[in-house]
A and B are shown apart, each in its own frame.
Chain A
Amino acid sequence: MNNVGDMMNDATDTQAESRADAPALAQDTLKMTARNVDVYYGDKQAIDNVSIDIGMENVTAFIGPSGCGKSTFLRCLNRMNDTIPIARVTGQIELDEKDIYDPAMDVVQLRARVGMVFQKPNPFPKSIFENVAYGPRIHGLATSKSELDEIVEKSLIRAGLFEEVKDRLHDSGTALSGGQQQRLCIARAIAVDPEVILMDEPCSALDPIATAKIEELINDLRGKYAIVIVTHNMQQAARVSQRTAFFHLGTLVEYGETSDLFTNPSQDRTKDYITGRYG
């Protein structure tokens, strides 16, 4: 970590203006890299020349005003933008040094390795158990019923939901409260044991207690997965992330150590945003 920080500082010193363009993670801790990514919805450009590094055992937060392209960029990382016919992505994004937009890349496997939790909780209209078991089942991760049970239980425990639902695993997942549904979606995502988890405002519909639970969960998961979280809550970004990226109007304005970015932003736009002057 120190190493990373040093490099970061070096970059800032020499080239303050283009801090965002200076990826500053040591090679061996890199999980994903994006280079010169542009995204267009039809003719409209939503992401303009974004380059970013995602660290391996680390939480990266994306912040920025509404409509600046955080979700759009997040969806590039597991190619969920493929499902939007008018979306077009250019540039290069690598996972473990493999180009994920390469035709040889298997999108289905990519999405199993790079899991996603959506902004709005979207459990399947099936039982709680089935929601969590679905991923392991389609990927053949469990060889027996008991193994599957174990995966489901473990995932629910890690998502902090097990205690609340252990007596009604076979009730509908859609009958849970919003916060419980979101934790169910997190359990569903970690049940396939991904390497990267992308979370798009996972707490936007939750009360402070549920939010705290999810933040705790993110902290627990940090050692195991690379996590990217989009949030509108500055305190949350400061609490859970190690690195923060600030987006504005489709560009990456500033990217660096969370502590640096919040205490000593190098860009005026970042400063204005985190001090609440616009957005």
Chain B
Amino acid sequence: MSDIVVQALTKIVGKENILLSLEERMCYAYDGTFRSFLPDYVVRPACTKEVQEILLLAGEHGIPVYPRGAGTGLSGGSVPINGGIAMDLIRMNKILELDKANLIVVVEPGVVTAELHKFVESHGLYYPPDPASLKSCTIGGNVAEGAGGPRAIKYGVTRDYVMGLEVVTPAGNVIKTGGRTVKNVSGYDLTRLMVGSEGTLGVFTKIILKLIPKPEAKKTILSIYPKLDGAADTVPEIINRGIIPASLEIMDDVAINCVETHLHLGLPKDAEAILLIEVDGDREAVERQGQVVAEICKSNGAMEVKVAKDDKEAEELWVARRAVSAAILQLNPTKVSEDATVPRTAIPEMIRRLRKISQKYNLPLPVYGHAGDGNLHPNIVCNKRDPEEMERVEQAVREIFEATIELGGTLTGEHGIGLMKAPFVNLQFSPEEIQYFREIKKVFDPQNILNPGKIFGGEEHEGLFSAAKRD
């Protein structure tokens, strides 16, 4: 901590918005992963100009800067692995403009995703991306991670809704990307480059988002299968019948058993899979589609199919799916959540391979996630206080990634590479490809001060899992 830097930062954001005590800095050491690193300073800017001045100052002194939204990230994207400045962006939480005629909303990055949903829905509009963390996480974090959610299969992910950005680059320039038009091919598409850049290319200070009209109705169906294959066959058949569900969630037998022991919902413990399917649109179309989906489920050997009659029943059907992430912690306290994603049709094979990995390393590995888009959440349940076990976890994670790539998939569908997957990027990308990444990073951030130590593998990542015992 340097006095000169403290003075300068205080001048930029004011005394209340710089936190220096150990206790307060500790609160910015973590995100939703199990690793944490202490920042030297926490600053909480309120506007673009302050963000810019902080970055200029950091550049001058060569201090790393770690942008942070709500800290719900699952890849360690915001944790200050090299100390320096944690830049908390949640004070910038204004909804700046709603343009109903052009179906556009302009927001600051610190707006909480659920607040945006509430706001636009109160105007009859819809912002579909719905990460499960939406009540806490921020739009800035969503854009930086390219967040998705159950609705991705029909409506796409955050990337599909970002039309333009105001970005402060690490060099301290304020640039605008994209714009307000659906069609826009002027220049390189820097907006797409920025989305999913995990806070390494620039700090977003304004975000222009596309909206759609709110669907009139929805129908929720829960289908329980004695065999995994029945569930697997259901998915393509629904789509081949011309129905794109608004969400299509899967839980495997380990996950089902955890939920049942946890909540006693009356789920059959010998079931191998559960699908939760939701269709939405016009009221009439939705009724019809709901029936077709239920029939498809039955013809694929479902032992039980429940169709919700109203919103309340729909909520009840979601209970099991929503409870999974908590229920699996009965097995052990630490959860290493992956979000390896494969093409839709490779899901059954992927689940089988995960079973084998679970047996090989003797680690519980419940699987659930978004069957509709191939985005699975295999969760290794372990104990971070057991270094030997954490080494096995690291090996298992590597094998999960290898299987994903073999099946034509990607390391991460929505959580980002960040810190936790950095040791594995070379599984998916060739040295040349990684070199291109590095060159791009250098163009924006020649001094490497913005979120250093992320995405690209390096020495600092050795023993990332077993090193957790030092936290």
Q: Do A and B bind each other?
A: no
* B residues apposed to A, CB below 8 Å: none
